[in-house]
Structures are given as structure tokens and as C-alpha cells.
Amino acid sequence: MANNGDGKGPRGAAVNSPEQRVWAALDNFRIELPSWGFANTGTRFGKFIQSAAATSLEEKFSDAAQVNALTGAAPSVALHVLWDTPGGAKDVSRIRELEARYGVLAGSINPNLFQDAEYKFGSICNPDAGVRKQALDHILQSVEIGKLLGDRDISLWIADGSNYPGTQSISRRIGWMQDVFAATHAALGTNQRMLIEYKPFEPAFYHTDIADWGMALELSRNAGPKARVLVDTGHHYQAQNIEQIVAWLLRLNMLGGFHFNDRKYADDDLTLGSIDPYQVFRIFSTIFAESNTQAVSGIAYMIDQSHNLKGKMEAMVQTVVAAQELYAKAALVDQAQLAGLQDSCQLVEAEECFRGAFWEDVRPMLRAWRQARGIPADPLKALREGGYVERITADRKQRNASSVSTYA
């Protein structure tokens, strides 16, 4: 089969061969980069400045374009409304210029409902109706920015909750959320969606208003048909079966997308697959098992990481490469064979069919795919040798040095 960049496999590959499945999977795999992943952001204790960190939206687009050029899989960058578009809709023309200049598009729009001092006791769940209106107005502004940019997804993470029993009405706060999400849904454009994220704890530790996928699911259903659930792989209790959650959301056609990272304890913002690559493989395999259904067609793959120890460019390239490798491994699972083994309860054979794909070294296939697509065979090596990090370090060092280190 000719290698002509049309999504087909390598020259000479048999129909539906492992190589063909991997190449087709890689051709269709896209993962969105977070603008905040290129900037200096704080930890729970302070802000540790990196000389190469992006200091403007233009620099974030430049960094994202470099990652996309090296990996061939990251053509969009998620925007954080408060940090990236302080001028609101007035910033749209500027973003259009950056898209044209750097060849990457603005992606999902992320409102900020946790930073303002008014949100001390919550944003959309705040007992103060005026604060709830402030939060809703910010969300609606985010929807409008998304409309003007032609972006599909509005990603909603609600940091609201409480730390002490009896200090807030959990029930009334549910109603306030429903009202805000209904108003948000009503404002969505024809091609827009709202993705509702969940998190079991932090910053609230007694109760978080959207603590698990069931709450996010019910809130999405209540909001309307353009609402879906967003799964952040760092937002779960220890040992929780995330692929089971994914399977349920796929069956219900309610899986909107992912925020990918990794964690040892809780939302540690670690590089994808650095702690448990088998989990990411299991998630991707669950999606491939449902690949013939409409539920998988709209899944948004997004990265949500901000590194303070690793270099930001290196960590982002490393994450995209890891995502490609694990996605390729999942594509190797013979789903028809696996289904037969599952149905006949051949436990050992089924498990070996499944985990055999995980242990396969797909890196040679990825190198061949990259070379055929005009992408560096080793993206990390190309980043190190290309001089980009050295150039941006020299250019941004003084601006970053003048940044004030503040608590996160």
C-alpha cells in the first residue's frame, strides 16, 4: 500500500496489519496543548520561575507551534480566558493573527472561576447571588469568545465546595449550579458544546460541588443536549477504575473529552504516563473497543499540565510523544479476537491478547510514520538539537527574571 500521507499504512503492509492500524490511528490522533503549560504558574507553595517560560500569548502560540511541528499531533492550543484574553472579545482579532502566523489554532475555551477574591466561598455555587451572576457573566463572555473564534468546546471546571460540615447547603448549591449551566447551555452557538469537569477534592476538602462523574453526568443531562462530561485523569481517588467510567460515558454518549496528565497521589500535574502508562493504554483501548459507535467521534483529547521542575517545552513534547505511543499500542489490540476470548471466558488468553499490545515496542513504527510524514523521527532529540529552547531562553530570560514570585 502506497505511503502517500492519506492515512493508509506503510508500503507493502497487509490490509488491517498491525502497522496499518498504527499508522491510521496516528494519522487521526490529535491532542490539544494548554496555553498555561508554557507559562510560569504557581505550585501550592510558590512560583518557581523558568527562564524559557512564555511571557505572552504570542509566545505561547510560538511554543505550541513548535510542539506541533515536532510531533505532528498538536494543532490547537487551549485558551484560559482570564490569563489569555483579558480584553474579552476585543482579543479575538489578535488571536486570529497569531493563528495565521504560527499555524496552530485556538482550541477549547477555559473560564476562570477560582482566582478572583469574590470566589472565596464559591463561584456559581456562592450563596451571594451577585457573585453567582459575576461567575455566569464570565462564562457567557467565554462562550462569546468561543463563538467568534469558531471554537467548539467550553471547558468548565468548578472549584466550588466547602471545608466544614454544616457551613453550606449542599442541596441549594446543586440548584444554583443547575441554573447557571442551563443559562450557559442556552447561550451556546450551533456548533458549540459545554464540557463539565469533576474533581473529588481540592481546593475544597469537606465537599466539592462536582465531586465525581455521576454528578457531572446529571448536571450535563440537566443542562441540555450540548453538554458532555470532561474526564481529567488526575481527578480521581486512588485505584479508581477510570476506564470503567469511560465505558459508561461512551455507552451513554456523554463523553466529551479528556484532560490528560498523571498523578501519584492527587492531581499532581505529572507528565502523561510517567506514573501509570498502563492506565492510559486501558483508557485508549476502551475507546477503540467502541470505535464503531458515534460516541467516540467527538472526543476531545486535551493536555492539562503545568510543569515547574521539567522544562516546559521538553515536558510538553514528552507528553505528546507518550500519548502517541500509548494510542498506537491501543490500536494494536485485536478487538475482534479479544471480544471472542472475552465471550468464551478464556481469561488468560484474553488478558494476554490485551496486555501483549501494551508490551509491544511501537517506537520503530512511530519513527517510520514520522519520517513518512516529514516529522522528526525523534521529537525530543530534535527539540534539544534545534536550538529553539536556547533561543527562547535568551530572549525571555530577563522578562522572566523580573517576574515576582508569589504564592499560587
DSSP states of 200-241: SSSS-SSEESS-SHHHHHHHHHHH-TTEEEEEETTSS-TT--
CA–CA separation, 66 vs 59, rounded Å? 11
Determine contact, residues 232/108, Cβ cutoff 8 Å: no
Enumerate the β-bridge partners of residue 262: 270
> Domain-by-domain residue ranges, the chain?
29-332
Considering the segment(s) 29-332 as one domain, its CATH architecture is: Alpha-Beta Barrel (3.20)
Enumerate the β-bridge partners of residue 303: 260
Residues 6+ away with beta carbon under 8 Å from 376: 70, 370, 382
pLDDT of residue 4: 39
Question: Three cell numbers at 142?
Answer: 467565554
pLDDT of residue 405: 43
Select from 295, 315, 297, 298 the least CA-distant residue to 306. Answer: 315
On whether the pTM is more than 0.85, the answer is yes
Residue 343: CB atoms within 10 Å? 9
What are the mean pLDDT values of the chain's consecutive 10-residue runs (408 residues total)?
44 72 97 97 79 97 98 98 92 97 98 95 98 98 97 98 98 98 98 98 96 98 98 95 98 98 92 97 97 90 94 98 98 97 98 98 98 98 98 96 57
